[in-house]
Every structure is written in structure tokens, then in C-alpha cells.
Structure 1
Amino acid sequence: MDRKFLDLYSDYLISSFGKVTATGLSELLDGELSHDQITSRLRQITGGSPELWYLVKPTIRKHESEEGVLIFDDTLEPKPYSDENTIVGWYFDHSSNRSVKGINILNCIYHNEAISLPVAFEIVQKLQEVTDTKTGKTKFVSEESKNEMMRNMLHVCCQNRLKFSYVLADSWFSSKENMQYIKLRVKKDFIIALKGNRLVALSPDDKCQGHFVNLESIELNPDSCCKVFLKGLDFPVSITKQVFRNKNQSTGILYLACSNLDLIATDINTIYQKRWKVEEFHKSLKSNLALAKSPTGIAHTQKNHIFACFFAFVKLERLRIKTKLNHFALKAKLYFNAIRASFSLLQKLTVPST
């Protein structure tokens, strides 16, 4: 890895306020590196989870604790004007309720009271050619599901001896395979969201006799827990229910499954609220670090740009610890100083009227 260039490029991402280009960086360096040299070096970077862990490990080791949590979630980087390739494709975007062309990234965030840092990530790559049984057309799909990616990333985090107590995720990752892997293989606890149609048994006898009901049919107060047996799961979990109001004033319900039966509902809800940190991570990547503003068109270069954005986030998080300013406040401070420098230069260049 060309660490010197990675530092240079990530600093450019942090200090930029619009589209980032090789030409723009070259001009910023007064031609010290040409456009072609920059694109060549960006293409030569090899950036994945192992390289990210190497870069983030010193900060993690300094601040990690047993109270830490691992948060899994994916994000979609829109690429409406890019040609399709192995990583740019069509994905269903739940926030807009439609299919969007872009890059799908699965992230693992480590969070405790001191830090929030990415420790692993996977970019969905559609490399396997299959024939659609309905249309007869050929299409490309990923060789492994995001649930499989999640378990592999979790395995690597444990291999790296990362200190944490809980795995947090939304209902997309609520498969029985994931839950059993976390509890029985990794020996950690989880708090994962469930959909209301999930089948549960209310007692060991009901489970043995195959008497399962929909989760939403259970009378459950928001401030209480209920021990149930999820269909296909070998151990019981505690279920809590959150009732909230959406922006459109409709009522929403969130069910949470927790593998630690000793926690009360308030504790489960408090720990799960930490999952919001991954949303802050996604927002900072897109708003502060030009995740979707690179014009790169080749899959390998696009992946390296994403990796550089992750490293830029690590730098911002280190600055947050040092300055006590959040990422957006840090960017605002950079923007203000840029305007002040521009204003000062303009004052010097302005010819006084006679």
C-alpha cells in the first residue's frame, strides 16, 4: 500500500466540498503530481478489510472496551450515471422504495463511549452468472449473501481479538443462522430487530409440539420483556416492543430480540439505540467525505476510492477525539477557514477605486 499517497488522497477527501477529481488534486498540488500519476496510484491501492484493520487497529486498541458493540448495516452509494460493472448494479433502496443503480456496501462499526470506527467492510460484487427462471435472461449475482458476509466479517473481528459484548443489526440480518452463529459459535450476545410476522413459541412445550404464532399477535407492553422461542432457533430470546410515531404521523412498531435473558426492556432499548451510530457513519461518508462524488468508472478504482473514504473517516474520528468537535463541526471549521483565506486573498487582489 502506498501509504503516503493514501494519506494525501484521504486528506483531499476531507478538505473538499464538491466533486473530487484527479485534476482537482493535481491543481491543488500545483502539478507536483499529474492527473495520470494520481489515477495510476489510486488504481494501484489494494484496500479491503485487512488493510482497513491495519490502519484502524492502533486507535481501536487504545480505546476498545468490553462494553463495545459491533453494528452491522449496509448502505447504497448511488451511481446513476456510471456504467454497470461487477460492483455497480441495481439494488432495491428501502429508503426510496425503488430500485437504484449504485454500489452496495456492508459495514461493521465498532462503537463504545469513546469511539465509533469501521473495522470491516465488504462491497457486494456480482460475479456469478445465472439465468433468470422467469425471464430466461442472463444476469449476474453475488456469490455470497450479505448474511454470509456478515458472519465472515464477525469471524474476522473475533480473530482480531476485538473486545465487545453485543452485536446489533436490523431485521435484514435476523436469520436464525446469524443468531445461532453469534450466540453459539462466537459466544457473544445480540440485539436484532425482528418483523412482526416472525413465528414464535411461548413455551418449551409449544416449541416441541410445533405450536407457533406470529410475533405481532402477542400482547406485549412496550416496557416489558417476553421470553419466546423463535422457530428454528435452539435457545430462547427476550422480546421487547417499541411503539413510535413516524414523520407522516403513522404509528410504527419495532420488535427486538435479545439473547441475554438477564436484561430488562429498558436496557435492551438503550443498547439498541447505539445502532444509530452506523447511520451517522453512513451520513458522514456521504456528506463529509465525497463517497459518491468520485467520477471513477473502473470497478477496482471505485473500490479504492471507497477504501480511501473509510480511512478519511478514521482520520476525522481521530480529530473528533482530539478537538471534541463532531465530523460536521470539523468540516464547517475547514469551510470557514477556506472562505476566510479566499476573502483575504480577494482583499489583496482588489484594485482600489480612484
Structure 2
Amino acid sequence: WHISVQLWNRIHVRSDHKEQDVCLILDDTDHEKTGRTIEKIGRVHSHLAHKAVLGFKCLCMAVTDGVSQILLDFDIIGEKGKKGNYGMSARELERRHKTEHDSEVLRSREKAYDMSKLELAKEMIKRAIRKGVKFSYVLADSWFTNKDIVRFIHSRHIKCHWLGMIKVGENGKTKYHTEHGDLTAPALVKLGKKLKLQKYSRKLKCNYIVYDAVFGGMPVRIFLVRRTQHGKWNGLLSTDTGLDFIKAWQIYSRRWALEVVFKDCKTNLGFGKCQSTSFASQIAAATLCCLQYNILSVARRFSDYETIGGLFREITRETVQLSAAQQIWGILQELVTAIARVFGLLDEEIYDAVINQSEEMAHIAQFYNLKSVS
């Protein structure tokens, strides 16, 4: 935290840093392992492989200003499962390496291993506030969006908002209190069509519906969106009731910057590749990887994204290398829009396939490094 905050402050004082656009991003990633004797090893459900894999989950929190990302916090966690055996047999549990840790820090890490991701996310946000990290929005996927987190964000003493996905399909059973009654997201879609509340965004080339509602006792704004007339609906929920649809969608697109961070760290820095049987070593390896990424991120900010400022800022704009977030929004959006319209898919599904599930598709952005983004 001490080093990461210092690195973030280096970015914070730059003239091209916009404080109102700073966001925290929450997401988890798989740390797949091969050794069955690793301390606290278990099986976790992988959303990429769509099956249980041997390893850990790593919940991370990053901060971004739309140009650079800094990893602020992480916790290595396991999944007990319904049987409470972490997906392991009795013999496998017996063979796991065991160590008595005297360090208070390691004991707190062990405690975090069995905590829920939601509770850990709240603790991470609290630590960021205590360390003086100022931010406007917290971005996360639909797994984190619930009444508890909305109330938690609303109760913070700093002015910040939640902006997260919500489930709209068959799994969208959560009810939101509106002027039309307590309705689920699918019911809000049907009501929007009936009342002709659906609008079309020429900029994003999609249809959307906006509702003001109450969720967890707090006022929220809900955005329902789909690409085609017969495509799947997607949803966003924000505690910022003054946010318009285009701004909300652009801000939320930054969440995928953390997926790019995971990709870079795993490919180039060995993130999650440690095979030591010691849980302390797993923590240390992940910590060193995060610090390496943060240093490289700051170095890149001062080299690739540097402008000479002032009088020549506008002239040199097109010569500055595009940031990861701009690449995602400006470069891949055209491709994502086309695929979504043709196949009736969700943006989330396409971004996941481009960044995480295809080595060939992941290189598409490299072809457009020098292309200007509108």
C-alpha cells in the first residue's frame, strides 16, 4: 500500500489527470495450480474454463483515471463449496502442506482466505479511503451488485458512487422499487416496451431504457440496454441518479481495463504462476508481481502518454500512444458492436472472448495502436 499510493500520487499530480474520472475496479481472477500439496489449495470454479480447476481465486482492486491502472489491493481466497471441503477429497486435504504462522499479517491473510468476496471488497474500499485514494465510482460486475454494497457505498463519508452490472435474463430475480411497483429487471424491460420508454443511441448504436428506482433503501438509476431488436438485454445500476446513459456506459467500460491488467501480469510477470507449497510464498509472489506492474505502469505513463503540454497539447494529441482504456473503448467497440448486432450477443460476452479466451483475438488491438480514436 505504501509504495502503490506513492506511485499513484505520481500520476495524481500530472496535468492530464482528471480527478472526477477516477474509478476503483473490483474483479477476481483464477490462479490455477498443479501441486495438490500446496498449503490451502482447493478447487475453484473458473468462469473462463466453465469448470472447477485446482488453485485459488485472487480478488483484486485497481484504481484508474482512464489512462493508467494501479493495483492497490488483493486477497487470495478459496471456495469451500457445499460440502465445505474446498472440492478436495479427504486424502487430498490431509496431504496439503500446513504451517503455523507467527506473523500477524499472514494470520490476517489466512482469515481473508475464508471470507466472502463481498466482505473483502468492502474492506478493500475502506482501506483505499483510509489511505487517501480519492475516487468517483466503484466498478464491478453483477456478482457484487446487491443491496448490501449499495448501502455501504452510500454510507461512505466521501462523495463516491457504485456503478455495476445487474442480471437481466432468467437469473434476474432481484426486485427494484419503482413508481410502477416492485419489479425485476425482466419485468422492467417488458414495462418499458409497453410504455414506449425505449430510446435509441446513435453514438453507441443500441436501444436503452432508463428507470429511477429505490434499491436497498437508496435511490438508484437503472440502465437497460440491448444491441438489436431481438438481442439479449444487459443492465447497469448506479447510485448516481444524475448520470446519463452514454456517460454511464463509457465509465463502466473501464472495468475491462482490469482484465487487460490480469492478461498482462499473467503473460509477462508470472502472476499466479508460483507453485510453492507455502501460502506465505503465494502471497509474496503475488505482491511482488503487483508492485512490478505498478512501477511499469507509471513508467509507461511518463513515456508513452507524455505530452509537451500547454500550447502544443492539441497539436501532439495524435502522436501520443493510446491508453489501454481508450483502446478498449475506441478500438474494440466497433468490432464488439458489429458482432453483437449480427449474433445478438451481450457486450460482456464478447469482451470476455476477445480479452480472455482467444490469443488470436487478443492481438487485434495491437494492429490499431497508431489509429486515432474518435
Q: Would the TM-score normalized by the shorter structure come out above 0.5?
A: yes
Q: Is the 8 A contact 1:63 1:114 kept in 2?
A: no
Q: Deviations over 1:45-79 (max 9, x none)?
A: xxxxxxxx111122211223242000000111111
**Paired letter, 2:163:** I
Q: Is the 8 A contact 1:168 1:190 kept in 2?
A: yes
Q: Tell me which residue corresponds to 1:102.
A: 55
State how far apart, in whole Å, the 2-side matches of 1:244 and 1:100 are.
34
Q: Deviations over 1:210-256 (max 9, x none)?
A: xx2221122343334111233xx1112111123258xxxx9443210
Query: Which of 201, 208, 227 is 1:223 aligned to?
Result: 208
Residues 1:235 and 2:204 aligned together? no
Relative distance call for 1:75 and 1:131 in structure 2 (3 A) is closer
Structure 1, unmatched stretches of 5+, are 1-52, 207-211, 329-354
Query: Which of 146, 155, 180 is 1:184 aligned to?
Result: 155
Q: Is the 8 A contact 2:38 2:275 kept in 1?
A: no
Relative distance call for 1:201 and 1:127 in structure 2 (3 A) is closer
Q: Tell me which residue corresponds to 1:71.
A: 25
Query: Which of 28, 38, 55 is 2:3 aligned to?
Result: 55
Residues 1:203 and 2:178 aligned together? yes
Q: Tell me which residue corresponds to 1:115.
A: 68
**Paired letter, 1:103:** F
Q: Is the 8 A contact 2:178 2:214 kept in 1?
A: yes
Relative distance call for 1:201 and 1:293 in structure 2 (3 A) is closer
Residues 1:284 and 2:264 aligned together? yes
Structure 2, unmatched stretches of 5+, are 13-18, 97-110, 193-197, 199-206, 305-320, 325-374
**How far has the Cα of 1:284 moved from its partner?**
0.8
Q: Deviations over 1:120-154 (max 9, x none)?
A: 111115799x867xx99798994310100000000
The 3-state SS of whatever aligns with 2:132 is: coil
The 3-state SS of whatever aligns with 1:312 is: helix
**How far has the Cα of 1:326 moved from its partner?**
8.3
Q: Is the 8 A contact 1:108 1:120 kept in 2?
A: yes
State how far apart, in whole Å, the 2-side matches of 1:306 and 1:69 are.
22
Residues 1:88 and 2:36 aligned together? no
Q: State the TM-score, normalizing by the size of structure 1.
A: 0.66
Q: Deviations over 1:299-330 (max 9, x none)?
A: 211221111111111122122113317899xx
Relative distance call for 1:131 and 1:171 in structure 2 (3 A) is closer
State how far apart, in whole Å, the 2-side matches of 1:229 and 1:91 are.
34
Q: Is the 8 A contact 2:42 2:56 kept in 1?
A: yes
**How far has the Cα of 1:165 moved from its partner?**
0.5
State how far apart, in whole Å, the 1-side matches of 2:298 and 2:174 are.
44
**Paired letter, 1:213:** L
Q: Is the 8 A contact 1:71 1:109 kept in 2?
A: yes
Query: Which of 253, 260, 263 is 1:273 aligned to?
Result: 253
State how far apart, in whole Å, the 2-side matches of 1:143 and 1:205 are.
41
The 3-state SS of whatever aligns with 2:302 is: helix
Tell me which structure has the larger Cα radius of gyration: 1
The 3-state SS of whatever aligns with 2:135 is: coil
**How far has the Cα of 1:202 moved from its partner?**
4.8
Q: Tell me which residue corresponds to 2:138.
A: 167
Q: Which moved more, 1:288-297 or 1:119-128?
A: 119-128
State how far apart, in whole Å, the 1-side matches of 2:57 and 2:299 are.
28
**How far has the Cα of 1:119 moved from its partner?**
1.0
The 3-state SS of whatever aligns with 1:278 is: helix
Relative distance call for 1:154 and 1:280 in structure 2 (3 A) is same
The 3-state SS of whatever aligns with 1:297 is: coil
The aligned length equals 261
Relative distance call for 1:296 and 1:252 in structure 2 (3 A) is farther
Query: Which of 213, 217, 224 is 2:183 aligned to?
Result: 213
Relative distance call for 1:78 and 1:63 in structure 2 (3 A) is same
State how far apart, in whole Å, the 2-side matches of 1:92 and 1:215 are.
26
State how far apart, in whole Å, the 1-side matches of 2:281 and 2:80 are.
17
Q: Tell me which residue corresponds to 1:306.
A: 286
Q: Is the 8 A contact 2:38 2:276 kept in 1?
A: no
Q: Tell me which residue corresponds to 1:44.
A: none
Query: Which of 90, 108, 128 is 1:157 aligned to?
Result: 128
**How far has the Cα of 1:109 moved from its partner?**
0.6
**Paired letter, 1:90:** R
State how far apart, in whole Å, the 2-side matches of 1:234 and 1:86 are.
42
Relative distance call for 1:60 and 1:136 in structure 2 (3 A) is closer
